[in-house]
Amino acid sequence: MSEPVIDHRLTAVQMAEFVRDGYLMLDGFVPAELNAAVHADQQADIGYWDKSSAIHAVFDYPPVKGILNSLLGASPVYDHSALHVVGGGKREAQVWHADSIIDARPFAFDVQSMYFSHDVPKETGPTLILPGSHLRRVSNVSIGRYKNIVGQKQLSGRAGAIAFLHHGLWHCAQPNQIEATRYMFKLRLRPGEPQRGLFNTAGIDSPEIHSIINSFTHKWMGDEARAETVQRAKLWRYVCGDDNVDASFEGVLTRMGL
């Protein structure tokens, strides 16, 4: 008897959460044996994309691949990767920033995977992100004088935690308050095809999806929260591959013919 085919694609709810928050975080997602192999390579200073077969195995792991295929298509394009190493006892945080340069694409996005091969409780300094910040037009460190923002969140988790970030998400490395070195492997991939209808699109116009796209959960947005929902609803149309679906606040995409 053949094995049942497992669908590793993102659900519509997961995809809507990515559109709302600019990231998906899966704690302890990568299996322990892969984490151990990667961590050993990192400690041996060979934990890089061009040197570690274990790192490649993480991104070939079907559940990870299914997520990347849902976001970027069947054949994502390698952009760059980096092993971020924060030594024990480092007191200074990185300043808030968005990577690369202001992106001129209206909807297309790259995905930055952040993978932790070992447990990363808060005191080890896992990356700090600002959920919902991915659709703002800022230039790299032009947000560098901000220090604390309501809703900021550290990517704390267990070994095998992996986060998938929209390229525009604000983030920064954090101090490492323990003695052990903290590792984070980052892989940036570009879309290999138009990012339209790549996930499991069942239920894209459901009340649950509307409540996610329309939510005002990110309190730091203040007065701009409504404007943000319009951008989200446009991105939702794009990733759904359906220019008629309208999850916008008060249906403004339809009402205003946007």
Point out which residues bind other proteins (CB under 8 A): 91-96, 128, 135-138, 142-143, 145-150, 152, 154, 172, 174-175, 219-224, 227-228, 230-231
| Locus of tokens 């447990």 | 119
Indicate the residue among 105 and 145 with the shorter CB distance to other proteins: 145
Tell the burial category of 92 from Cβ atoms under 10 Å away from its Cβ (0-12, 13-18, 19+): exposed
In angstroms, give the least distance from the CB of 207 to other proteins: 23
In angstroms, give the least distance from the CB of 229 to other proteins: 9
In angstroms, give the least distance from the CB of 232 to other proteins: 10
CB 158 within 8 A of CB 30: no
Q: What are phi and psi of 232, to 5 degrees?
A: -60, -45
Read off the tokens for 161: 């935690």
In angstroms, give the least distance from the CB of 140 to other proteins: 13
Compute the distance between CA of residue 28 and CA of residue 157 in angstroms, rounded to an integer. Answer: 7
Q: 52: helix, coil or strand? A: coil
Indicate the residue among 200 and 248 with the shorter CB distance to other proteins: 248
Indicate the residue among 35 and 127 with the shorter CB distance to other proteins: 127
In angstroms, give the least distance from the CB of 220 to other proteins: 4
Length of the chain measured in residues: 258
Q: 114: helix, coil or strand? A: strand
Read off the tokens for 229: 């929902």
Indicate the residue among 112 and 152 with the shorter CB distance to other proteins: 152
Q: 25: helix, coil or strand? A: strand
Indicate the residue among 47 and 132 with the shorter CB distance to other proteins: 132
